[in-house]
Amino acid sequence: MSVDHDEQKAGFVRGFNHPCGWFCVPAQGSDLSLLTGYIQTDLRGMLPQTAVDTAMAGGMINFYGDLRRALKAQPRCL
């Protein structure tokens, strides 16, 4: 998929997401599911790797927390 972007702007760096995907499969012997995400994001720019690692980890923690809250708010689907 291609997305049109505005012109580049000084002082801003455009990151890039490589192809990624999410898999949700039933957990064996349980009524639960296992969600596995494969992502590879290149934030680009001259960023310290520790800052990148911290931001990415925090983003993933927030994503799964938000997902958990959204799923708890929904009636159970069978």
Tokens standing for residue 45: 């720019």
How much is the pLDDT for 47? 84
Tokens standing for residue 28: 């064996």
pTM of the model: 0.61
Residues of the chain where predicted confidence (pLDDT) is lower than 50: 78
Closest C-alpha to 63, from 41, 37, 44? 37
How much is the pLDDT for 78? 47
Residue ranges of the alpha helices (H) in the chain? 49-73
